Homo-oligomer: A and B are copies of this chain.
């Protein structure tokens, strides 16, 4: 572990100098939001670093991209600017570099204790798309809803299936989730149920944050798709299974999803994830040429879901999965999204779909873990078929390096009762 910061970073921290994930924060409740990177227990205020003239490379010199209330402008600048920012910040924060280390005034202005800041959504999200890229999840959902004969629809192996999600209700980690009301699937010939969802679920996902977009009508080549992805966040695609089951034929999920989607505040860049790249699964049948990529890459990101029931002191781990469990890669998802000419914009969010693994204890949602409520989970002396009011759900994602982590922190939300 060569690189070290002058800031003390505990070996368990998700945010050593090898990571430097980007977010947007308010140092005080009434401050304007501004971009920052996480370093140990601190947030480095990039607006202060920019104002101090320390971004002095060719892309960022004189740019106001870090004086914005979102990261969209920085994201639009693309990989050369991202590489330059990363190099500048790794140098500035390293133990051997005096510029910030020995400047008490600048340290005072630019380094804010993480526990003092309020994180906000890092980007303005023009559109949010959710894929369905884990085969295990597809098979389990198909078995539960359609039956065990042909659980995975025939199109699934030919294209990364996705639907358009709701951008307005994407919220930052820590935002409470109000239990949705709606129509639930009727039993037999009875009229549909109406009331608070009785099958409220989480979905363990990650999401890609789009960098430079594309013009309408101009698809992005799968081998260039990585240059359009800035980084990844954790994402909880909260789902009301009873609402979803009744509404989704024939146009897909709508109100069963759109009441809230939670993202983690720190965007971990693909550059920081690169040491954790892993081969993607072999695809059979071979994908069509527009989806056939020269390098087919996943990332080894360990994922965990905890539930803390109201009033209990301890969380209970309910599943452990890994980003590697995805069948369709991020770059295939992005290329597929644009093959019809659809335009992406900086800050767009591309969810992976629920990341379920092959084992019972690696399933990514309660629908699968409890087999649609038939086999309740035991949880520190209580049980859960679906989420109860007061439950706090926390996702954790982390890559384990040699003596350091590249982590995502947490993505959390608590269920409040329906109105």
Question: Interface of A with B (CB < 8 Å)?
Answer: 126-127, 132, 141-142, 145-146, 153, 155, 158-159, 161-169, 171, 178, 180-183, 191-192, 194, 213, 216-219, 240, 243, 246-256, 258-260, 285, 288-290, 336-337, 339-345, 348, 419
Contacts and interface: CB of A to CB of B under 8 A. Distances in A.
B341 A192 contact: no
B260 A339 contact: no
B171 A216 contact: yes
Contacts of A348: 168
Nearest to A192: B158
A142 B216 CA distance: 31
B290 A340 contact: no
Contact of A254 (B162, B182, B240, B250): B162
B169 A342 contact: yes
A255 B340 contact: yes
Contacts of A219: 181, 419
B183 A254 contact: no
A200 to B, nearest CB: 11
A249 B159 CA distance: 12
Nearest to A162: B254
Copies assembled? 2
A340 B259 contact: yes
A178 B217 contact: yes
B164 A341 contact: no
Nearest to A161: B251
Given A163-B164, A182-B339, A419-B217, A246 B155 contact: yes
Contact of A419 (B163, B168, B218, B252): B218
Contacts of A141: 250
Given A168-B344, A216-B260, A344-B168, A252 B163 contact: yes
Contacts of A255: 336-337, 339-340, 342
Minimum-distance CB pairs A-B, first 9: A252-B252, A180-B340, A178-B217, A163-B251, A164-B164, A255-B340, A258-B342, A251-B252, A259-B340
A153 B192 contact: no
Contact of A259 (B162, B192, B341): B341
B126 A343 contact: no
Contacts of A250: 141-142, 145-146, 153, 161, 248, 252
A183 B343 contact: no
B180 A341 contact: yes
B168 A254 contact: no
Contacts of A153: 249-250
Contacts of A419: 217-219, 341
Contacts of A344: 168
Contact of A251 (B178, B247, B253, B341): B253
